[in-house]
Amino acid sequence: MGVGSYGIDQMLLKYERYGQPLRPDVVVLGIYPHDYDRTRLSFYSYSKPIFRRDGKTGQYVLENVPVPPPKEVYASLKNSLNSTGSYAWVFVKNRVRKLLSTLPGNNGYYEETDRLVESLLARLKADLDKTGTKLLVVHISPGHAFENSEALSRGKSAPQTAHLRALYEKLKIPYVDLLEALPQGRPLETIYKEYYIHRPDGSVGHFTPRGNAEVAKIIAEALKQKGMMKNGG
Which tens digits make up the pLDDT trace of 176-220? 999 999 999 999 999 999 999 999 999 999 999 999 999 999 999
| DSSP helix/strand/coil, 56 | coil
Separation in Å, CA 113 to CA 13, 138, 187: 18, 19, 34
Q: How confident is the model at residue 25 (pLDDT cuts 50, 70, 90)?
A: very high
Alpha-carbon distance of 39 to 8, in angstroms, equals 6
Q: Which residues of 80-91 are buried (b: 16+ CB within 10 A; e: fewer)?
A: eeeeeeeeeebb
Alpha-carbon distance of 143 to 205, in angstroms, equals 7
Task: Point out the least confidently predicted range of 21-35, 68-82, 121-135.
Answer: 68-82
pLDDT value at residue 94: 54
pLDDT value at residue 85: 54
The candidate with the shortest Cα–Cα distance to 63, out of 116, 22, 18, 107, is 116
> What is the average per-residue pLDDT within 131-142?
95
Give the predicted TM-score (pTM) of the model: 0.84
pLDDT value at residue 5: 83
Residues 65 and 59: beta-carbon distance below 8 Å: no
pLDDT tens for 33-89 read: 999 999 988 877 778 899 999 988 989 999 989 988 878 877 776 776 665 555 556
Helix boundaries (H) for 82-181: 87-101, 109-131, 149-157, 159-170, 178-181
pLDDT value at residue 187: 97
Question: How do strand 204-207 and strand 26-31 relate by DSSP bridges?
Answer: unpaired
Whole-number mean pLDDT of the chain? Answer: 88
Identify the CATH class of 8-40+102-232.
alpha beta
Q: Quick check: 224 pLDDT over 60?
A: yes
Task: Tell me the domain boundaries of the chain.
Answer: 8-40+102-232
Q: 29, exposed or middle or buried, with CB in 10 Å at 0-12, 13-18, 19+? A: buried
> What is the average per-residue pLDDT within 137-158?
96
pLDDT value at residue 97: 54
